[in-house]
A and B are shown apart, each in its own frame.
Chain A
Amino acid sequence: MTRAALTPEMWQPLAANPTALAEGSSPQATRGFWAGVRSRLFRHRSAMAGLVFIIFLVLAAIFGPMVSPYSYFEQNLELSNLPPAYRAYTVDADTEVFVNRSNLSLYRVDDQGGLSALLRPDSRDMINRQSTWQIGDKAVVLDYGQRPPVLTINGEVAQSGGLSINARNPFGTDQLGRDVLVRQMYGARISLLVAAAAVLTNFVIGVIYGGISGLLGGRVDAVMMRFVEIVATIPLTLYVILMMVVLQSGLLSVVLAIGTVYWVDMARVVRGQILTLKGQDYVAAARTMGASTSRILFKHLLPNAFGPILVTLTMLIPSAIFIESFMSFIGLGVTPPQASWGTLTSEAVETLRAYPYQLLFPAVAISLTMLAFNFLGDGLRDALDPRLSS
């Protein structure tokens, strides 16, 4: 091995050269726990996508119905079941019409490109299955003896134009002529409201119940957990349904039913955390210094159990949203005219054959929302688990 000549100064002690020594040998920089969690969460791409979607949803739920020119309950039977996008027929220079082939109606396209007026036929021939409109000097005939119905203008089969967006109701209208967009946003409001209420009640009840059970331990704990065990044997959905039978249908009842039942998981998680933490030294230290039980609970135990509680809460949100929409879907949730994603879906199912696209919006909305909360919950759990990062 060749090497540089050794000079006497190389044998001098190296005590006074801390930078040279520190090179490469620094132990891992210690960051705050929560700073680490935040940075891990921010790097979790799907969790961030979920978070962005949730923020967007919250904004739409709060401000959407305020900004919209329509209300969720305002009906307009003349403009029912209109699509979000349509192909128009040009009748003359300033008249374009849209044919709804499912209900055989003709609508005028307004200047903004919205479907805003129903055109009543001037004559109907029930025997030949034809409706006739007189628009300007042209006779517009819809022949629904054929399948699909054929539109003729002055005897010629009309050619439709390209696809354009319904500017009046970008998501279309439902069977009562209500604006689907505003009902969707209202549905988001209901879902988020239920989620918030569920989170709040479950947090309070679950943390108190689980906290007391874990902290007191012994016989009290045994009895309290037996009770939880009994409650948890039956699916929570069944309880909620039974509660809804007793309570009058409606938003408040849904919140109440979910709130009184869904704390079970939270109580278990909190108790488990408390039991683990209770065995740790700093709690024993606090006890020997004479701290009271409630002080130990709130100052020492809960802050440390916060991570798992947070994950449980995030996971609770989608299940609360799901149960509300589920109840509303089978007709036990919010009452008409209130719109929830569950009622919107079940209304869409009624018109599934004629207007299948009506299913799209509530189905996509609830699925995306569930996905977003699940992604956020997964990301949070990963971020809170330091084992995964080492």
Chain B
Amino acid sequence: MTAPLLSLRDLRTEYRTDRGTVQAVRGVDLTLYRGEILGLVGESGSGKSVTCMSILKLLKRGGHITSGSADYDGTDLLRLSEGQLSRVRGDKIGVVFQDPMSALNPTMTVGRQVEEVLLQHRKISKKDARARAIELFKLVRIPSAETRIDNYPHEFSGGMRQRVMIAIALACDPDLLIADEPTTALDVTIQRQILALLKELRDRLGMAIILVTHDLGVIAETADRVMVLYGGQIMEEARVADLFEAPQHPYTRGLLAAIPDPRQSGGALTPVPGSPPDMRNPPSGCPFAPRCPKAMAICLTPPDLYGAGDALHLRPAQRTRCWLADPAVPAELMEAT
């Protein structure tokens, strides 16, 4: 296999607030290959967004990365200075945010917001930047790009704004696109269009995508590989088909059970009973234990992230953080998979 584009090791990110320190990410490992779409899925507060924003240190006020490394093309992004990082941001790695309503500057034409990235990272004239911006608008299928480029964000619909965001993110031909819930704020038909666009752009341009979502339907439709996060940790990681066919972690199963048809987008995750843990004071054992239908005494001790070598029923590239995948699990608890 080729060398990974990005490999994140033992990432830990905290948020300091006046009500205590929130341990948002607690030791996440992530490997991403070129051209791959990796889905990060979880409830709000699971640490999925913080994980991917930590890669570029795009943290809100109070956020700190306390440990870990993010090896990207041979450099550890987490060790770069803010100035060095700004040469990576927008150039080698593009970002698409959740809410296209608020992620675009309301007082600047969309064209300028695209040209701005180009002028920052490429030595080109304003005229060429504008031409490239129009080209990008066409790429993301914004109709009548030549005139729309001089409009302000409020003159676009939500779906069109998200296309503008994608145009900004792709302006410098990045190798990696981080898409943080790119379709959550959009209605269902628009969601599908945007996802189809992302997938198509990946096929044409060949960049890797980290797709953050709370919607397993989006994962099923778009991603190649998926990581399920809960309580700031990886609960399960698998190829998409494997996850839907043979989910290992009780949490993943709960998520899947909550969707009548996992191929149907728009399924909500809330039906898993209970509420997510308070990350200022996370449970000492498995974070899901308090809500887990199969919780055992041993679950108060943190489980490892087991790989295919540990348990026979795990598929290649599948990993799960559950005591039930421990080689020592009593036979009667083993389930047919």
Contacts and interface: CB of A to CB of B under 8 A. Distances in A.
Interface stretch (B86-94, B199-207, B216-224, B277-285): B277-285
Q: Is the interface of A mostly helix, strand, loop or mixed?
A: loop
Contacts of A20: 300
A6 interface: yes
3 tightest CB-CB pairs across the interface, nearest first?
Answer: A10-B298, A14-B295, A25-B277
Given A14-B289, A389-B18, A23 B297 contact: no
A69 B294 CA distance: 82
Question: Which of A8, A15, A23 has most chain B Cβ within 10 Å?
Answer: A23
A24 B296 contact: no
A6 B304 CA distance: 14
Interface string A293-332: 0000000000000000000000000000000000000000
Contacts of A17: 297
A330 B70 CA distance: 69
Size band of the interface chain B makes with A: 20 to 34
Contacts of B282: 24-25
Contacts of A10: 296-298
B147 interface: no
Contacts of A25: 277-278, 282-283, 287, 290
Interface in B1-54: 17-19
A11 B333 contact: yes
B248 to A, nearest CB: 17
Contacts of B298: 6, 10-11
Contacts of B284: 23-24
Contacts of A11: 296-298, 329-330, 333
Interface in A6-36: 6, 8-15, 17, 20-28
Interface string B289-332: 11000111111110010000000000000000000001011100
A285 interface: no
Given A6-B328, A26-B278, A27-B278, 17 more contacts: A1-B304, A3-B301, A9-B297, A10-B297, A10-B298, A11-B329, A12-B297, A13-B296, A14-B297, A14-B300, A21-B289, A21-B290, A25-B277, A25-B282, A25-B287, A27-B275, A28-B278
Interface of B: 17-19, 275, 277-278, 281-284, 287, 289-290, 294-301, 304, 326, 328-330, 333
B296 A14 contact: yes
8 contacts: A6-B298, A12-B297, A14-B300, A21-B289, A21-B290, A21-B295, A24-B282, A24-B283
A1 B305 CA distance: 12
Interface residues of A, number: 23
A10 to B, nearest CB: 4
A119 B123 CA distance: 90
Question: Which of B17, B19, B283, B290 has most chain A Cβ within 10 Å?
Answer: B290
B51 to A, nearest CB: 21
Contacts of A22: 290
Given A24-B277, A25-B290, A15 B295 contact: yes
A10 B326 CA distance: 13
B328 to A, nearest CB: 5
B169 to A, nearest CB: 29
A8 B330 contact: yes
A12 B296 CA distance: 5
A30 B300 CA distance: 27
Contacts of B17: 390
Contacts of B326: 6
A15 B289 CA distance: 10
Contacts of A26: 278
A341 B56 CA distance: 58
Contacts of B300: 14, 20
Interface string A20-57: 11111111100000000000000000000000000000
A13 B278 CA distance: 23
A14 B304 CA distance: 19
Contact of A23 (B275, B283, B294): B283
Question: Which of B17, B296, B330 has most chain A Cβ within 10 Å?
Answer: B296
Contacts of A3: 301
